Amino acid sequence: MKKDVWLWQLAGFAFATALGTLLHFLYDWTDLSIFTPISAVNESTWEHMKILFFPMLIFAFFQSVFFRNDYPNFWWIQLTGIFVGVISVPVLFYTYNGAFGKTPDWLNVLFFFISSGGAYLLQGFLFRRPSKLDLDWIALAILLTIAAVFVAFTYYPPYLPLFQDPITGGYGLTT
């Protein structure tokens, strides 16, 4: 199993970027409110963070079936990678915007792929480091709390720039 880590990470990257791309458009394409909590409901930076978070979390649950017994720190590794990937989205976006002005759409897509790739690379390296840490329930609880925050802020976003749709000026579902 341990020599398959990089294949799993590549599969995770492919899954997260494909599903994240789909989730970017799903809300606009369908009237299926079941997808509203996990798909992008506007073009805010927060919603772009969300469409990376949920695909990575979904893949982590699938991957956990195969990895949990070999890696007692599985959920810590997932939490670390997901956190780095999700935080990379606004860091790259706002750094570029601060330095050069408005970000072209193709570059926003590239930032999404870089954030996902960096997260899965980090996880791959962390899987190669032995650890006896066995408090995975804490990491899993943190991930589920973050998921709940993403869902809650879809419906009740704070009125902060991170949550504002740059196209409409609206927040959350009110855009």
DSSP 22-63: HHHHHHHH---GGGTTTS-SSS-HHHHHHHHHHHHHHHHHHH
pTM given for the model: 0.92
Taking alpha carbons only, the member of 46, 3, 52 closest to residue 23 is 52
Give residue-wise pLDDT tens across range 138-160: 999 999 999 999 999 999 999 99
Q: N- to C-terminal Cα distance for the chain? A: 46
**Are the C-beta atoms of 77 and 115 separated by less than 8 Å?**
no
Give residue-wise pLDDT tens across range 33-67: 888 999 999 999 999 999 999 999 999 999 999 98
Owner of token pair 């979390």: 57
Q: What angle, 0 to 180 degrees and rounded to 10, lies between the N-to-C axes of helices 74-100 and 45-67?
A: 160
